[in-house]
Amino acid sequence: MTPRVNSARMPDFQGQVVRLTGKVLRLSDASNEAVLQASDGGEVRVVLSNLNPTLMTDAYVEVVGKVAGNDELRALATIDLGNELDMGLVNYVVERYHDPRFASLV
């Protein structure tokens, strides 16, 4: 299972594949990068590599990618999640995922 992270949890997963849900703040065709606001409010730079940035059409996306730095993710795939999303709820789910009381469920 791919762990769900927010910006604060990314340093714990250096070099690993994770899922990050965020709001698209900036998208650059020229540099093939995006900047997302993660569910905890932190900003994460997403390197889209071979992915076409024009495929990210919604305000909110989930990125499956490899953590390449404390605030950088190298995308393997993106999933559009629509234009409205309760990021507080998303962050709640992320934090419950890492809560040791629920470790047996993951």
Q: Which domain holds residue 70?
A: 4-105
Rounded to the nearest angstrom, the gap between the alpha carbon of residue 51 and the centroid of all alpha carbons in its chain is 15
Tell me the two tokens of residue 32.
């093939």
Dihedral sign for Cα atoms in the order 86, 84, 2, 37? negative
What is the total count of domains within the chain?
A: 1
- Residue 85: HSE in the Cβ half-sphere, 13 Å Cα cutoff: 20
pLDDT digits (tens, 9 = 90+) for 40-73: 999 999 999 877 766 788 999 999 999 998 999 9
CATH number at residue 42: 2.40.50.140
* Average pLDDT over every residue of 18-32: 92
Cβ(21)–Cβ(61) below 8 Å: yes
Position 78 confidence tier, pLDDT thresholds 50, 70, 90: very high
Distance CA 94, CA 8 (A): 11
pTM above 0.95, yes or no: no
